[in-house]
Structure 1
Amino acid sequence: MTDTKTNPIDDRPTKPAMLRGFRQRCPNCGEGMLFKGYLKVVDSCPVCSEDLHHHRADDGPAYLTILIVAHVLGFLMHFVWVYLRPDPFVMATVLTIFSVALSLYLLPRLKGMIVGIQWARRMHGFGQAD
């Protein structure tokens, strides 16, 4: 028998939970939908009944989205300006549309990933009733 204080049992691996969350699925079963709207997390999974109302994603997904989009956009701005030299108005318009589209794509996925991390690490009440 292993001592859980020195060698904890990893019954909730973080990586699969993160990937399930990124796919906007329940971090426990990977089948049920994580959101009932664009960013509203369901109270419990419709498939496995795992309670998900404990999450505290707060501003984390927004910060990660800004971080990723800003780095991608900075690289694209440099590449497009150096190699293509478009009209500044065209470049600003295209990169603005790209920035908004990428932000809207990433935000719910990164929120799901953070909920998955919190579930796997038993943060904010996810491990209370086990």
Structure 2
Amino acid sequence: MTKTSASSAPGSSTSPAAPTAGGGDPPPAIFPTRMRGFGMGVCGVVLWMVNFAIGLTFPVLVDAVGISAAFFVFAVLGVAAITFVGLRVPETRGRSLEALQGELRARYGKPVDHPAPSLAS
């Protein structure tokens, strides 16, 4: 009888940020430190909402159009999501958060021309 170590178990990884087979949460390093907890919370809520929506609509869709068409609908949504990511999400490999933040602000941010109003009169 042979023993198997934890490192040779299916799905195990030596990297703590490696994605799991079921998807899992994104690594927390994609969010700036000051809003990391909030960002991870939003990711978790969105993940559960999408899972709920799929679980709610899939049986209804199968009853309405059949199993093949239902899978086709979700395949088309998946291709649309991959296309969106490929076209609109910037590459992050080898870049700092500051460089990404600067690029996103330049692309989508609005310049602030006036200082924030002060409460002191």
Q: Normalising to structure 2: TM-score of the pair?
A: 0.31
Higher helix share: 2
Ranked by relative contact order (alpha carbons within 8 Å, sequence separation 6 or more), the top structure is: 1
Rg larger for: 2
